[in-house]
Amino acid sequence: MDFSEIRGVILDMDGVLWRGDYPLVDLPGFFARLKSLGLKIVLATNNSTRSVPQYLEKLRGFGVMLGPENIVTSSMAASSYLSQKYPSGAPVYVIGEVGLKDTLREWGFHYSEAEDVVAVVAGLDRNLNYNILTKGVQLIYHGVEFIGTNPDRTFPSPSGLTPGTGALLAFIQAATGKNPVVMGKPEPYLFQLSLQRMELSSSQVLVVGDRLDTDVLGAQRIGCKSVLVLTGVTTPQDIHPPHSVQSILPDFILNNVDELPNLISNPHKV
Ligand SMILES: [Mg+2]
């Protein structure tokens, strides 16, 4: 592959940059090397519960100074999708936490429970109750567009796996018989917004992640080359499962993300 064309990278965060509160590599050094190669950087996450300032704060805690232009979340992808379809200021019904609600508000959408909402936007809400779900189900049942922030069925927590947005979407799907338009990986919206942010085309960008079914598949769907790192959920055995008919294969596999600058600047040595 000709890396001279590469101008930007889209990085997944958990399992690539850190695991929980522990950095996986020397993060300040890693970002300094990416910047010295002149690469544009977007950190893209399916997580809709955290806001951009919260991610910047986390990065700062690891000694990494990035700006809001470097973060793209599934809440932003949902807002961008809505803004292309509906007028600014349109009412939306939201099932989700502060990260999703604040982002939609910043993009000019206002929260409403009235019948004239243009969409029901559903993301993870850890204070969810039956009434909140019922309202969303009734609106969708009456024809309002159903948008989901991300498809992840589980969500890691210190106590183990917890139900994720995908499980919540499945509840609404079962009740309404309608499928959501999903914003997060592996669907294209989150990555498309990331490319727009960088003002680059898919052939100029590498997608880096730790999951085959989200990061790598999503990269394939928008035409980006993909890099799988082995610091997250995927093990070498997962890459060529013995009984798999069609496995999702990354273009490159790295032990950790620290090897990425070398891959881009000197691909023949990898
Ligand atoms: Mg990850």
pLDDT per residue as tens digits for the range 152-192:
998 777 788 899 999 999 999 999 999 999 999 999 999 99
CA of 79 to the centre of ligand 1 (A): 22
CA of 16 to the centre of ligand 1 (A): 6
pLDDT at residue number 26 = 98
pLDDT (tens digit, 9 = 90+) per residue, 215-238?
Answer: 999 999 999 999 999 999 898 888
CA of 233 to the centre of ligand 1 (A): 7
List, in order of start, the domains of the chain with CATH numbers: 3-46+186-269 (3.40.50.1000), 86-182 (3.40.50.1000)
245 DSSP assignment: S
Is the distance from CB of 66 to CB of 43 less than 8 angstroms?
Answer: yes
CA of 208 to the centre of ligand 1 (A): 9
Q: How far is CA 214 from CA 169, 190, 234, in A?
A: 17, 11, 11
Which of 16-25, 92-101, 177-186, 259-268 comes out lowest in average pLDDT?
259-268
CA of 190 to the centre of ligand 1 (A): 14
